[in-house]
């Protein structure tokens, strides 16, 4: 019976493979069709009329007439949309808003989500993820069990109070098609619970009774769920609870720091790992090869792509190139136009192409310095505001700083059972109270960045920051040791790896 179920499931999803092969073989034609569809849908919107979409016939005209925009520039339209106005950026109803970490001007961003973007982008990509997994693993038992998704919850609209906001995982679950409900656990009532501690407890108890074959989620939260399941069941290994577990679909943060830890927690030869690249703004790429971590760029999912070469990043009006002009192993800022009404939107992600036939990418970072090891998305603007606040509270004057994650370690990796941030800060005038400085830094980060606040809640994912109060000239000595003294060489503010922090700590010890 198990083999029959898996054969039928794989057969049903395999119908998507033809569509995938089509955009792999005909990428430019497919993107041209997506472009025409988007322009036709946008021309009667408020935005489309303001930018003369009726006169746009080519991708070049689109680039000439429509500016590259950030969230701040879209916000006047998004605010009106939050109030309930329609046909502002997209010609079909906006059914919700994906909430993510804030910008310089706001604690949180609210990305509009249309029904079309759920169906044609997120759900279509989800189907293709399963189709590719089944195709790459012909002996899979995936369809004979359930998938556990660790996601967020629905939250009130900040203007109307209607519960139509939440992180992208919550919106996806809240509007799931019927077919998807047969493949997942626990119930939506549990999966969308607002209280995190209660949700983890309920998810652990419910899902531990199911035959789970796959997990989907951010590595950090998945680790907490696994540990909670072991706690409530009294088992020593998750394989005692889920003996048929075979795949973890992961995304949002780099999996590199977590890979060994997951191998320790799930010591199974049948375990597979498959990366996805999705965000509040859309589902962009997924791992399509079993023996490669490169991600297949999804070209037929309601998103039109442009790319800014690194040489253009700092220009006021940067020039973009189309997909057919990208080169291997060069870094590009990715610009998207979507079927939720984001037009030439700069999401801040940097990608590099590892293949152009078909188009495969790797995420190379952000156009700005950031820390996003646990989904906290702390950017330099957040850090500068929080440090200014901490300095004001303690009569300190800042000179230089850098920060990086403290990654969770396994049993063999030391004492870091929870994540955190490690800061090295040099002052012109040091703080009068170092403890108050650290507490104030953490307090302000929690206030201005909702994702950081969520991870800090009850020390679930992040503990209080570790701050090293550096001696004078520490950063100068580090730059000197690297042969990087001079005006063009600056201290990197935030990094998603520990290269700089570990190097500067060594300087501090000498």
Query: What angle (nearest 5°) sits at the alpha carbon of residue 351, between those of residues 349 and 352?
Result: 165
Full DSSP string of 241-309:
H-TT--EEEE-SS-SGGGHHHHHHHS--TT-EEEEEEEETTEEEEEE--TT---EEE--SSSEEEEEEE
Does residue 107 register a pLDDT over 80? Answer: no
| Kind of pairing between the strands at 370-371 and 378-379 | antiparallel
Q: Hey, is 191 helix, strand or coil?
A: helix
Instruction: Express each pLDDT in 256-266 by its tens digit.
Output: 767 777 888 89
More confidently predicted of 179 and 264: 264
Q: How far is CA 120 from CA 128, 206, 334, 462, in A?
A: 11, 31, 20, 35
Which residues are paired to 136 by β-bridges? none
Q: Where are the domains of the chain?
A: 1-367, 370-509
Domain 370-509: state its class.
alpha beta
Which range (116-120, 169-173, 323-327, 483-487) has the least confidence?
483-487
| Kind of pairing between the strands at 146-149 and 184-185 | parallel
pTM: 0.80
Q: Which residues are CB-contacts of 477 (< 8 A; sequence separation ≥ 6)? A: 507
Q: Write out the two tokens for 347.
A: 């999401």
Work out the average pLDDT over 96-110.
72
Architecture of domain 1-367: 3-Layer(aba) Sandwich (3.40)
Q: Give pLDDT, residue 490.
A: 65
Instruction: Express each pLDDT in 30-69 by its tens digit.
Output: 999 999 999 999 999 999 999 999 999 999 999 999 999 9
Q: Write out the two tokens for 291.
A: 């023996």
CB 55 within 8 A of CB 61: yes
Residue from 398, 142, 92, 125 nearest 271 by CA:
142
C-alpha–C-alpha distance, residues 45 and 296, integer Å: 32
Instruction: Express each pLDDT in 399-455 by its tens digit.
Output: 889 999 998 765 444 455 678 999 999 998 999 999 999 999 999 999 999 889 989
* Torsion over CA: 170, 174, 176, 182 (sign): positive
């Amino acid at each position: 019976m198990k083999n029959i179920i898996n054969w039928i499931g794989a057969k049903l999803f395999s119908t998507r493979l033809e569509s995938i092969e089509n955009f792999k073989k005909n990428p430019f034609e497919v993107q041209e069709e997506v472009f025409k569809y988007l322009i036709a849908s946008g021309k009667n919107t408020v935005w489309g009329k303001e930018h003369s979409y009726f006169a746009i016939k080519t991708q070049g005209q689109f680039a000439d007439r429509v500016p590259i925009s950030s969230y701040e520039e879209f916000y006047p339209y998004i605010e009106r949309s939050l109030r309930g106005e329609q046909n502002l950026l997209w010609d079909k109803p906006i059914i919700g808003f994906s909430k993510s970490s804030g910008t310089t001007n706001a604690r949180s961003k609210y990305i509009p989500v249309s029904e079309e973007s759920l169906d044609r982008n997120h759900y279509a990509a989800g189907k293709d993820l399963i189709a590719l997994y089944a195709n790459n693993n012909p002996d899979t038992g995936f369809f004979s069990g359930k998938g556990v998704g660790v996601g967020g919850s629905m939250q009130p609209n900040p203007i109307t109070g209607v519960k139509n906001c939440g992180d992208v995982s919550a919106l996806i679950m809240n509007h799931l098609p019927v077919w998807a409900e047969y493949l997942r656990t626990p119930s939506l009532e549990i999966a969308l619970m607002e209280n995190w501690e209660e949700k983890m407890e309920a998810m652990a108890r419910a899902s531990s009774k199911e035959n789970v074959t796959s997990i989907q989620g951010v590595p950090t939260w998945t680790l907490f769920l696994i540990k909670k399941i072991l706690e409530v069941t009294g088992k020593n290994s998750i394989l005692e609870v889920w003996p048929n577990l075979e795949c973890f679909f992961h995304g949002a943060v780099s999996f590199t720091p977590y890979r060994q830890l997951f191998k320790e927690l799930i010591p199974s030869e049948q375990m597979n790992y498959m990366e996805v690249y999705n965000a509040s703004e859309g589902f962009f790429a997924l791992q399509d090869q079993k023996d490669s971590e490169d991600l297949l760029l999804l070209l037929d999912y309601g998103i039109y792509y442009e790319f800014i070469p690194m040489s253009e990043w700092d220009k006021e009006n940067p020039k973009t190139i189309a997909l057919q002009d990208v080169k291997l192993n060069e870094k590009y800022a990715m610009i998207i136009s979507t079927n939720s009404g984001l037009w030439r939107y700069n999401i801040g992600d940097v990608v590099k192409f590892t293949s152009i036939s078909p188009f495969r990418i790797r995420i190379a970072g952000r156009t700005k310095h950031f820390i996003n090891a646990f989904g906290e998305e702390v950017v330099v603007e957040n850090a500068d505001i929080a440090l200014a606040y901490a300095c004001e509270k303690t009569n300190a004057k800042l000179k230089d700083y850098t920060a990086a994650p403290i990654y969770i370690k396994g049993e063999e990796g030391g004492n870091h059972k929870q994540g955190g941030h490690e800061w090295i800060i040099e002052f012109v005038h040091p703080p009068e109270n170092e403890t108050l400085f650290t507490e104030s830094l953490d307090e302000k980060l929690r206030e201005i960045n909702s994702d950081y606040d969520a991870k800090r809640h009850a020390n679930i994912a992040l503990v209080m920051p570790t701050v090293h109060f550096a001696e004078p000239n520490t950063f100068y000595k580090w730059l000197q040791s690297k042969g990087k003294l001079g005006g063009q060489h600056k201290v990197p503010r935030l990094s998603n790896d520990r290269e700089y922090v570990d190097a500067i700590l060594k300087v501090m010890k000498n």
